[in-house]
Chain A
Amino acid sequence: MTSAVAIPPPFYSPYLDDQCNKINSRQVPWEGYQRAKLLSGDELTLLKSLSKLPQSQRSTVFATQGPQYAKLYIDLLRKLQRVDTVQAVLCAINDMLADPSTIPLFHALSTPENPDDPYGPIVKCLSMEEEFAVLGSLRLLAVLIATDPKPFPSSLVPTVLASLQGLLNGTRQPLWEVASQVLGAILGRKQFRVPVWEEEQCISGLVKALKTNPNPQAQYWAISCLWLLTFEPLVAENIDKKYDIVAVLTNVAKAAVKEKVTRVILSTYNNLLTIAPRQNLPAFFTAKVLPLVTALSSRNWSDDDLREDLNFLKTELHNRLEGLTTYDEYISELESGHLVWSPTHESENFWKENGMRVGQEENGKAIKLLVDLLKTSKSPLVLSIAAHDIGQFIKYGGDKAKQTISNLNGKTRLIELMAHENPDVRYHALMSTQRLMSQHV
């Protein structure tokens, strides 16, 4: 973030704007505060002179006295308790920040006595019971955090995230919309990515919304947050395992009407594939992303970045697919004992070409491994895959295949597995036993 004037992230909430207008139309009795010694005479003057000017002329005042106003507002937030006054100050700050050049004035407020400024007093408002106090503060935090070159005080992070996750999991849509945009704004800072990842409710709130809310704008906001998270390697490696994200995104992509939703989904895929390919490739294949991407390529897109991402995904997935169906990969998978439904197992081509090799190379090492896995593994997934593979081997492995399996006691084991508790295991064991028994394969 090295721009001369930091660009604030976009924020759209007619709901909040409405409320702000109402609040601004009320008059705050500042004189009363001065009498109660909460305001000095100068500060009172500052407030009154500003309120006399219409919005359009205020920027000249801020140009000269900006720092004093910034300090005044934050001090007020620190001292005030009354809800409607807090609301007024929050709106005032928001109006001031509409001019981006005022943003650094707030960043500069940190002092030795108040090192957390300007954030401390704003975060304090998050614990108020009143809705606008929370939403308004969150909006301010979004703008200030996203543009601040300095790090955000880490002691305040949990409060902010707790507040956000409450709104993301709540039922009221306008509040969800504010929270998702604020989350998107702060996730632009690396500092927040791991804490948000650890705050699981935040992410589950987003994923839930993706599954239930068809509104494209809401989808865009939710997916943007996920996209920003995936820049962090820890997230890229684990997010699919935990939240099944590739499948969710693929569903959204299939039904997406708006280009920007597709755009941000593709960017997320891009991150997952580039930063953590090994962990995410199986998911990509299971969710059949390659066919989707190929279909999408035929459409006419106006965004260059989108087209680039599309091409990248297409080539990358294609190459990986080729790479994954080699014989050596298959052997190493067998040796590791961690069988997954990778393309190798499903591709008929692979078995046609390599069926004989599996039985013959190195004295049938591969087939021995397979039968061993069948005998010793406890995982239903591995058992199903091993059973399925044995069936394929019998089909393509040549005349001796059935004999080999019987010799290794594979036949007995397969029949045992037909009574296994897991239905998938039973199914594959049945299919393979059929092949074993029948005269015509």
Chain B
Amino acid sequence: MSRSGALDDNEIQTEMNKMVAFISQEAREKAREIQVKADEEFAIEKAKIVRQESLAIDALYEKKRKQAEVGWKISQSTALNASRLKVLQARNEHLENIFEEANKQVLLLLLAPEVTLSHRPKDSDLVKKAASAAQKRYKDMSGRESKVSFESSLADDSAGGVVGSTMAGRIKVDNTLGERLQILEEKMLPELRFDLFGANPNRKFFT
């Protein structure tokens, strides 16, 4: 068997080593390429996820902030209303005090034709006196006679004044002071307010 051209064991070993080294080098180069590509893809994915999540967090906190803002607005509005109510209540109380005072004043009488004057018992003399004077004036003004009958039926602790009724109680004119005061209370509120509390700074138009 000719051995020229064939390699001996040492040479074979060297050649094999060279081939192994070559294959190993090629493999490591390819491995490097794969690793680099993988790292880059990882970086891109990570950046994408981070961005998504931070947008989500921003949205969540925006929502929370809005909710907090709404809640604050509500409580602010509630507090404002409560304080307004308090002011109104205080004014109302003040007003009622004034009316109470007015109720204790001295009386005034007015008349209707053929009236039955219901009045407080203790007023009966007063009423009788006032009634005759009134009748006279009535005659002057309207030329009619009127007949007055008296009834002491009003409660004693009311403010006084009379309730005139005619035709057996079918028409009534409530002229008690309380009633008159009531009417006044409602009608005079604007002027009262102005006198008591001064002008309203928020108001621009006055009739």
Contact = CB atoms under 8 A, between A and B. Distances in A.
Q: Which 5 A-B pairs have the closest CB atoms?
A: A10-B28, A9-B32, A10-B29, A12-B25, A231-B40
A260 B31 contact: no
B40 A264 contact: no
19 contacts: A1-B39, A7-B31, A7-B32, A7-B35, A9-B28, A9-B32, A10-B25, A10-B31, A10-B32, A188-B35, A190-B43, A220-B29, A224-B33, A228-B36, A231-B40, A260-B29, A260-B30, A264-B33, A305-B37
Contacts of A231: 40
B35 to A, nearest CB: 6
B186 to A, nearest CB: 77
Interface residues of B, number: 15
Contacts of A228: 36
For chain B, what secondary structure do more than half of its interface residues adopt (helix, strand, loop), or is it mixed? Answer: helix
Interface residues of A, number: 17
A267 B29 contact: no
Nearest to B24: A10
Given A260-B29, A267-B33, 18 more contacts: A1-B39, A7-B31, A7-B35, A9-B28, A10-B29, A10-B32, A12-B25, A188-B32, A188-B35, A188-B36, A188-B39, A220-B29, A224-B29, A228-B36, A231-B40, A263-B33, A267-B37, A305-B34
Most chain A beta-carbon contacts within 10 A, residue among B28, B32, B34, B43 = B32
Interface of A: 1, 7, 9-10, 12, 188, 190, 220, 224, 228, 231, 260, 263-264, 267, 303, 305
A260 B26 contact: yes
A12 B37 CA distance: 22
Nearest to B43: A190
A188 B35 CA distance: 9
A231 B35 CA distance: 14
A9 B39 CA distance: 14
A282 to B, nearest CB: 25
A267 B31 CA distance: 14
B39 to A, nearest CB: 7
Nearest to B35: A7
Contacts of A12: 25
Contacts of A9: 28, 32
Contacts of B40: 231
A182 to B, nearest CB: 13
Contacts of B32: 7, 9-10, 188
A257 B32 CA distance: 21
Nearest to A231: B40
Most chain A beta-carbon contacts within 10 A, residue among B25, B33, B39 = B33
Nearest to A267: B33
Nearest to B31: A7
Contacts of A264: 33
